[in-house]
Amino acid sequence: MKLVVTIFGKDQVGIIAKVSTILADNNVNIVSVNQNIVDGFFNMVMMAEAMDNKVQLPEVQKLMKAKGEELNLDIKIQNAEIFTAMHRV
């Protein structure tokens, strides 16, 4: 399953490290990362892929949500199909 991770919020040390750890723990591989910081605000879009069919997306979402609350960031992880459906004919 292809996944998209989006993160927004105030920049701080270790955002990518902490989010990547959750992905790695759940056997999700990172395919590409696009990240920038504008006026102290962190923006990131990460393409990822679950390496087996056993990934429990709701579980990963829960972990990401908790991490987002802890770091005061907006973190989303979604099935990439919604984006391809909308933007590709």
Partner 1 sequence: MLTIDNILETNRMVTDHNLDVRTITMGISLRDCAHPNITQFCQNVYDKITTSAEFLVKTGEDIEAQYGIPIIHKRISVTPIAIAAEACKTDSFVPVAETLDRAAKEVGVNFIGGFSALVDKGFTHGDRVLINSIPQAMATTDVVCSSVNLGSTKAGINMDCVREMGEVIKRTAELTRDRDAIGCAKLVVFANAPSDNPFMAGAFHGVNEAEKVVSVGVSGPGVVKHALEELKGADFTEVAETIKKTAFKITRVGQLVAREASKRLGVPFGIIDLSLAPTPAVGDSVANVLEEMGIERCGAPGTTAALALLNDAVKKGGLMASSHVGGLSGAFIPVSEDQGMIEAVECGSLSIEKLEAMTCVCSVGLDMIAIEGDTSAATISGIIADEAAIGMINNKTTAVRVIPVPGKKVGDSVEFGGLLGRCPIVPIRNQWSSEAFIARGGRIPAPVRSLTN
Gap between the Cα atoms of 13 and 4, Å rounded = 22
Tell whether residue 34 is a contact of partner 1 (CB under 8 A).
yes
Tell whether residue 20 is a contact of partner 1 (CB under 8 A).
no
Tell whether residue 63 is a contact of partner 1 (CB under 8 A).
no
Nearer to partner 1, 11 or 81 (CB): 81
Choose the binding region for partner 1 from 11-19, 21-29, 57-65 (rule: CB under 8 A): 57-65
Tell whether residue 54 is a contact of partner 1 (CB under 8 A).
no
What does residue 29 show for φ and ψ, rounded to 5 degrees? -95, 140
- Nearest Cα neighbor of 5 from 40, 39, 49 is 49
Give residue for tokens 């991490």. 67
SS3 1: coil
* Binding footprint of partner 1 on the chain (CB under 8 A): 4, 6, 34, 45, 47, 57-58, 61, 76, 78-87, 89
